[in-house]
Structure 1
Amino acid sequence: MPGLEVEFNDARSQQFMHCWCSGMLRALREGPLLPLAPGSEVYRFTWIPSSRGSFVIRIEHLGPVHSLHVKMTGMEEGTLALDRRVLLTPTQWQAVQQRLAEARFWSIDRFFASRGLSYLDGSEWLFEGGREGRYRVLSLHSPDPEGPERAIHDLGVFLVELAGITLPGGQLY
């Protein structure tokens, strides 16, 4: 959206963004996704808004077990407002796989925002995945639900619904 971004081109600003995302994952008590156990598959969606608490949804497939783990930051630093794990049915796992395919997660050619922009408002959407010895990351800022990033937006909305998260204001942005 016009007026919400500030352009930066230096490596220090890019490094800051990567450190910021890593810090948020530490605050949510999330470790690295790699290395993966043989035959396992994992996906993680981290939502980092500019003005409220963040959350992470991690979905894992290990052997016959499919699970979802959701965490939300608390009001006080170092606390979690939510830390819940649920088992998924094979049908739910297939629905996740379908939405990943629709979003072209493993084949899309854009991993990070293209013009080296830093935003002053909105939210950062970080999708990570690991399977068959591969790791992939996709970082977007407030994907447009009606634009070319619609399938990515729909994937995020689906994961929030699957996790049973109720957001203040009712929607992802």
Structure 2
Amino acid sequence: MPDAFPRGAFALALWPGLEAEFLDAHRQEFMHCWCSGMLRALKEGPLLPLAPGSEVYRFTWIPSSRESFVIRIERRGPVHSLHVKVSGMEEGLLTVDRRILLTPTQWQAVQQHLDAARFWSLNRFFSSSGRVYLDGSEWLLEGGREGHYRVLSIHSPDPEGPERSIRALGAFLLELSGITLASGGLY
């Protein structure tokens, strides 16, 4: 099976409060394999290589106790689209698999959320306090444009903490996708 992420993409994990944890080679390999497996289950492949003139972002939500989903938005020339997939309870089944066209206004709103979250420029994190979380969700935010790729792996971003703009980006993509979550919503 092809890798869904470039090697080394998981050198840094972020915890609530944007506390950084630099992962050793063993944990990087675990995250790489685990997240690649989740994307394969959602019938998603790697974002790279990018088609010339395209831009793509993918939000993968992996909760501890319910179905995962992925929302991928793309710009290919003048066409903007969103593709949403929700895993089913049985392995290999998707309960949602649909693509919708986005308006230029919606694409601009996505860009504004990306800018507010400093997706491409976020480079200062707090040092890790060594916390371990046994519950919550993993948020993977990936992007590719103009020959650049970035992935942020964030555990359960706090809506009131320093990562609130990243959480707002995920919530906005969820809203655009039209899917609704069971009780509890995003966490």
Same fold by TM (over 0.5)? yes
Matched, 1:50 2:43: no
How big is each residue's C-alpha offset from its partner over 1:81-127, in whole Å with a ceiling of 9 and x where there is no partner? 1000000000000000000000000000168x956765310000000
How big is each residue's C-alpha offset from its partner over 1:36-76, in whole Å with a ceiling of 9 and x where there is no partner? 11110000000000000000000000011000000000111
Q: In the alignment, which of 158, 162, 167 is matched to residue 148 of structure 1? A: 162
1:15 deviates by: 1.9
CA 1:116/1:68 → structure 2, altered by over 3 Å: closer, same or farther? farther
Q: In the alignment, which of 34, 38, 44 is matched to residue 30 of structure 1? A: 44
CA 1:153/1:9 → structure 2, altered by over 3 Å: closer, same or farther? closer
Aligned residue identity for 2:164: R
Contact 1:56-1:71 within 8 A present in 2 as well: yes
Contact 1:8-1:117 within 8 A present in 2 as well: no
CA 1:131/1:146 → structure 2, altered by over 3 Å: closer, same or farther? same
In structure 2, distance between residues paired with 1:26 and 1:116: 30
Consecutive unaligned residues in structure 2, runs of 5 or more: 1-14, 16-20
Matched, 1:163 2:177: yes
In structure 1, distance between residues paired with 2:65 and 2:158: 19
Matched-pair identity in %: 78
In structure 2, distance between residues paired with 1:12 and 1:25: 20
Q: Number of aligned pairs?
A: 167
How big is each residue's C-alpha offset from its partner over 1:131-168, in whole Å with a ceiling of 9 and x where there is no partner? 00000010100000000000000000000000011000
